[in-house]
Structure 1
Amino acid sequence: MYKRMPSRDHSAVVDVEESSALLQNSADVETTNPSWWLSFPHVIVATISSFLFGYHLGVVNEPLESISLDLGFSGNTLAEGLVVSTCLGGALIGSLFSGWIADGFGRRRAFQLCALPMIIGASTSATTKSLAGMLIGRFLVGTGMGLGPPVAALYVTEVSPASVRGTYGSFIQIATCLGLMAALLIGIPVKEIAGWWRICFWISTIPAGFLAFAMMFCAESPHWLYKQGRSADAEAEFERLLGGSPVKYAMVELSKLDRGDEADTVKLSELLYGRHFRVVYIGATLFALQQLSGINAVFYFSSSVFKSAGVPSDIANVLIGVANLSGSIIAMLLMDKLGRKVLLLWSFFGMTISMVLQVAAANTYVSGSGSLYLWLSVGGMLMFVLTFALGAGPVPGLLLPEIFPSRIRAKAMAFCMSVHWVINFFVGLLFLRLLEQLGPQLLYSIFASVCMTAVIFVKKNVMETKGKSLQEIEIALLPQG
């Protein structure tokens, strides 16, 4: 029934009469949701890229002092800052090209291309004898870090049944949390064992190698195959992911969106103007608000806040990690029950309240009330991380590939993730300077205002995608005559 055709001629893929018959029976198909366990292994392998993302974000935190001593730049704060942040520059490059790589080579090959610089970069960092070698290694790892998250979001969205797509999307955030925690745990012996920091880098090559190898046995995205005109292959992959009965309906759903222009190159101007502007604007703004909320300032500089409250840094790291992971697990359980929009609204609202607590803590610190400052600052920060992980953290990465039309999905994700990395970089660069110039009360008030702005933006602009197929979402957002 599904013939292999060039991408410009999908119109005959499904016979018109059979299509209408299938659509009449769509209610029967949808009442029996596809088995989640068929797609589960493919999603788990994909989230290894998110685990690596989290691991490499945190891998130099504990060992940085040892690295600087061994490589001869101890006391050079600029060099230390470069070791931490060079990967962010690489991540920007990786995210910029992620859409073109995912569309040009396919989602599976993109994962393998993401793992390659992570293996080479981590090996370079582990064996280097100089600062230059460390920076090269960190930059290479960063390109893989930038490529991985948008491809993971695309892949998980495109291979998941609609009934569990939100839950699976939450796995990305959970894997990132586990990666961060693994980096902190593996870094613990660094002060007792000479050269342990090299082992920390070597260890990361194991999951990266497994990702590259395991992807050979995972399903390719049926959406990508269909865009390439490979309808028979798309049908076969749907069967691997969904089981037999929902396959024909899934293929009919894909055929609805055929516009005959899939082979055309998607230009940047097409994302910024015309009929796709609204969804790209929503996506880019969500990522901008996520980063401007102050979350990375909290992650990067939480130790100094806890230290001022008398909490040791190792305990602070554990508390932050537990709050982040707990929120991510709760989000996973609620994503397909309450929906994306509800979680986003309550998450940003909770973050607003948390920042108000931080402002109150800063005021009590000035007035000299030490015990109240401890409870407000530590409690407010943990509440901020927890409420972030409930929605603002996991939802944008899931929601964006859901609302982007199939034709522009990969490139639009690349653009929005690039916005994410640029703002991430400047927040990390300017936070301490702004804290010094503006003071904590004013800076945390600005963060609270951003979070409240996000609540209003989500209320007005974000549609609920829970339980809807990608095709239903696209038709709802881009009605075409």
Structure 2
Amino acid sequence: MQNRVEEARLVLLKTIENDADVEERLMEIQQAARISDVDKYDEKSVLREMLIPSASVRRMLFVGLGIQVFQQTTGIDTIVYYSPESFKNAGIESNSKLLAITVAVAPALRRHNWNDHLFINSRLYSLLGKGRLVIALAVLRVCACLAFFSLGLGPICSILTSEVFPLRLRAQAYALAAVVNRLCSGFVTMSFLSLAQALTVGGTFFIFAALSALSVLFVHTLVPETRGKS
């Protein structure tokens, strides 16, 4: 939009291997910038396209919104927000010890992760009861869970959502995806303690484990590989 086309081309050359793809992407961006610059951009038509989507846009929305739903419904925020409650369930009674353990795993809690270990968490709480071994395993599992999320659904979710939509739809579609993500986060976070009370913490993690398995199936069957694609 500032007419710095050559600088834009140099940036694209750093991120796209094929020169032809660079020119195609640059042309698309220039066209979008010109439309925006002359105020011909019709926001209503974009919203109409999202409300009554074509088959291709419908798939984009399904993938973009679906990955946001799974990021939250697999239980990541409950691990971050309620780790003290989980450690207490594992057998840590003292508030000072709960604080110390939470601070100890804080570097992991500051990162997000993929929930491959939720099934093991659920078995841990359900079968082993309480004790030092369970406490140690609970701490290790929380750290591992957060670490794996940092390599998967954590960062990839936002990147993928921005990549699957074309420029004309990207702003509105990504905004919708962000709203869906926050609504799912709020629902899971607010329902966790009630579920844990009704089903036990282990039973609740079984639900998250099942949702994690569904998320793997969703990604494997419906989410495209975007590397090297326009």
Question: Given the two structures, how large is their TM-score scaled by the length of structure 1?
Answer: 0.40
1:361 maps to 124
1:13 maps to none
**Unmatched tracts of structure 1, length 5 or more:** 1-224, 226-231, 329-346, 473-481
1:301 and 1:437 mapped to 2: Cα distance?
A: 16
> Do structure 1's residue 253 and structure 2's residue 48 form an aligned pair?
no
Q: CA deviation at 1:467?
A: 3.6
Residues 124-183 of structure 1 show CA distances to partners (whole Å, capped at 9, x for unaligned) of: xxxxxxxxxxxxxxxxxxxxxxxxxxxxxxxxxxxxxxxxxxxxxxxxxxxxxxxxxxxx
Counterpart selection for 2:86 from 288, 291, 305: 305
Counterpart selection for 1:271 from 37, 50, 65: 50
Q: CA deviation at 1:314?
A: 3.6
Counterpart selection for 2:75 from 273, 277, 294: 294
Q: What secondary structure, in the 3-state scheme, does the structure 1 residue paired with 2:158 have?
A: helix
CA RMSD of superposed structures (Å): 3.1
Q: What secondary structure, in the 3-state scheme, does the structure 1 residue paired with 2:167 have?
A: coil
Q: What secondary structure, in the 3-state scheme, does the structure 1 residue paired with 2:168 have?
A: coil
1:66 maps to none
Q: Is the Cα contact below 8 Å between 2:86 and 2:201 reproduced in 1?
A: no
1:243 and 1:278 mapped to 2: Cα distance?
A: 29
Counterpart selection for 2:3 from 214, 219, 233: 233
Residues 250-298 of structure 1 show CA distances to partners (whole Å, capped at 9, x for unaligned) of: 4543336869987222443422432211111111110101100010011
2:144 maps to 383
Residues 315-366 of structure 1 show CA distances to partners (whole Å, capped at 9, x for unaligned) of: 42341423654xx7xxxxxxxxxxxxxxxxxx75xx23x1111112212354
Which is higher, the Rg of structure 1 or of structure 2? 1
Change (3 A) 1:282 1:272: farther
Change (3 A) 1:406 1:394: same
1:256 and 1:313 mapped to 2: Cα distance?
A: 52
Superposition map of 1:417-432 within 5 A? 417-432=178-193
Q: What secondary structure, in the 3-state scheme, does the structure 2 residue paired with 1:407 have?
A: helix
Query: Identity over aligned residues, as a percent?
Result: 25
Q: CA deviation at 1:373?
A: 1.6
2:193 and 2:215 mapped to 1: Cα distance?
A: 23
> Do structure 1's residue 280 and structure 2's residue 41 form an aligned pair?
no
Q: CA deviation at 1:428?
A: 1.9
2:165 and 2:49 mapped to 1: Cα distance?
A: 13
**Unmatched tracts of structure 2, length 5 or more:** none
Q: Is the Cα contact below 8 Å between 2:9 and 2:22 reproduced in 1?
A: no
Change (3 A) 1:233 1:318: farther
